[in-house]
Amino acid sequence: MIRTIVTVAGFAAFAAPAFATTYNTLSGEAPLVIAHRGASGYLPEHTLAGYELAIKLGADVVEPDVAITSDGHLVIMHDDSLARTTNVEDLFAPRNGGYATTDFTLAEIKSLTVEPTGTASTSYPGFTPSVSTFEVPTFEEFLTFVNDYNETNGTNVGIYPESKPVSSTEKNQKIVEAMKTYGFTASTQNSYLQTFDHLAAQELSAMEDDLGMDVAVAALGYVGTVDGEYAVYDYIHGSYSTLSEIATYADGVGVYKNAKLTAEFIAAAHALGLEVHGWTFNLTDPDAAMEQYLTYIGWGLDGFFTNYTDLAVAAIAKYEAVAPVPLPAALPMLLAGFGAFGVARTRRRAA
């Protein structure tokens, strides 16, 4: 977790390059493009091939949901059940009335194939994944994959693991320790931890502090208010956490974009030093998506959880092409005889 509210804002003001586009984000930098479950609009979700495609499409951060197997291994899976996204029903009989990840061993889960859902397919035009099969990845395989990609390509792709409810101390500890083992220890790596369980968010924050880590933590939920103050609903405990409460243990909030996520909410969070990341941006029509992204960029949203990385990247590029350059930056350009205002991203693209 990071508790450097004044420092962060002050640093952004001094560190901005001379010709930078102005953003209303907390950092003043471009919003993060967070590949939600990978390139999940195009390839099977939560697969290494999907993460690879998302990175190649320009994601800053890749997001996995993390579950635990019956024999204590962390795997990448969204649902409690294996049934929606894999062929488990073809290979195994139900256990305890279903196909809960927690009822299967890692070896059994590794025998499954992840299948496309929604708008996803098993291939993407012009893309040949370096990982040829659609297995359920372990968390360690995911971390290794991102590390290797960064090392090979000189990139800084971040990770955003979600400790999926039901959260447990065992699972949280394993997530944090694995991140430390694989070197994801600092917010400067665009790395975050997230959970819908706000007590677990506090636990994750304490665990990483104990391990000397400085990864940002986000509390997830639905925007609401408590006695006139903005809050985030923790559906696990059936209660709201106010933004000022969240600011005591977290660095940001991840909220459902269709429920009261407004410019005013974002401003209130920023006033407390909290980033705001919205989920899930999943429009497929490029024009409609562009309009939607540009609205939230104008409001200062700090990150987009998106199923279509390329559309978010295109919107940020568009914003940079049309956003006015502030006068202090524009003046030297005019004096230097530039015919048009140039712009540059302040956040380095991941790929």
Structure tokens at 111: 């025998």
Catalytic residue among 46, 78, 270, 277: 78
Alpha-carbon separation of residue 287 from 56, 147, 296, 303, 309 (angstroms)? 22, 34, 15, 20, 15
The 277-296 site mask, x for binding ligand G3P (CB under 6 A), equals --xx----------------
Q: Which of 60, 65, 208, 245 binds ligand G3P (CB under 6 A)?
A: 65
- Residue 76, H or E segment: strand 74-76
Residues 6+ apart with CB under 8 A from 45: 37, 38, 78, 85, 114, 117, 120
Which of ligand G3P, Ca ion, none lies near 109, with the C-beta cut-off 5 to 8 A by kind?
Answer: none
Work out how close the CB of 230 gets to ligand G3P at its nearest, in angstroms, rounded to a whole number: 18
Which of Ca ion, ligand G3P, none lies near 279, with the C-beta cut-off 5 to 8 A by kind?
Answer: ligand G3P
CB closer to ligand G3P, 21 vs 195:
195
CB closer to Ca ion, 36 vs 347:
36
CB closer to ligand G3P, 63 vs 320:
63
Peptide bond into 166 cis (omega under 30): yes
d(CA 40, CA 47): 9
Residue 305 binds ligand G3P (CB under 6 A): yes
What are the helix and strand counts (H, E) for the chain?
Answer: 12, 13
Alpha-carbon separation of residue 268 from 9, 252, 276 (angstroms)? 15, 12, 10
| Total residue count of the chain as it appears in this document | 351
Contact of 29 with 277, CB cutoff 8 Å: no
Q: Which of 36, 56, 171, 257 binds ligand G3P (CB under 6 A)?
A: 36
Q: What residue number has its CB nearest to ligand G3P? A: 279
d(CA 113, CA 172): 26
Residues that bind Ca ion (CB under 5 A): 65, 162
**Secondary structure of residue 206 in the 3-state scheme:** helix
Which of Ca ion, ligand G3P, none lies near 220, with the C-beta cut-off 5 to 8 A by kind?
Answer: ligand G3P
Residue 254 binds ligand G3P (CB under 6 A): yes
Question: Which of the residues 81 through 140 are near ligand G3P (CB under 6 A)?
Answer: none
User: Residue 300's Cα: distance from chain center in Å?
Assistant: 16
CB closer to ligand G3P, 20 vs 61:
61
Dump the DSSP string for 269-320.
HHHTT-EEEEEEE---SHHHHHHHHHHHHHHT--EEEES-HHHHHHHHHHHH
The 197-236 site mask, x for binding ligand G3P (CB under 6 A), equals -----------------------x----------------
Residue 38 binds ligand G3P (CB under 6 A): no
Burial class (CB in 10 A: 0-12, 13-18, 19+), 287: exposed
Work out how close the CB of 259 gets to ligand G3P at its nearest, in angstroms, rounded to a whole number: 13
DSSP 8-state symbol, 57: T
CB closer to Ca ion, 307 vs 346:
307
CB closer to ligand G3P, 28 vs 254:
254
User: Residue 151's Cα: distance from chain center in Å?
Assistant: 21
Work out how close the CB of 280 gets to Ca ion at its nearest, in angstroms, rounded to a whole number: 8
36 classed as catalytic:
yes
CB closer to ligand G3P, 21 vs 307:
307
Catalytic residue among 36, 198, 270, 277: 36
- Of 258, 259, 278, 272, nearest to 229 by C-alpha is 272
Residue 310 binds ligand G3P (CB under 6 A): no
Work out how close the CB of 42 gets to ligand G3P at its nearest, in angstroms, rounded to a whole number: 16
Work out how close the CB of 63 gets to Ca ion at its nearest, in angstroms, rounded to a whole number: 6
78 classed as catalytic:
yes
**So which residues are the catalytic ones?**
36, 78
Chain residues that interact with ligand G3P, rule: CB under 6 A: 36, 65, 78, 162, 194, 220, 254, 279-280, 305
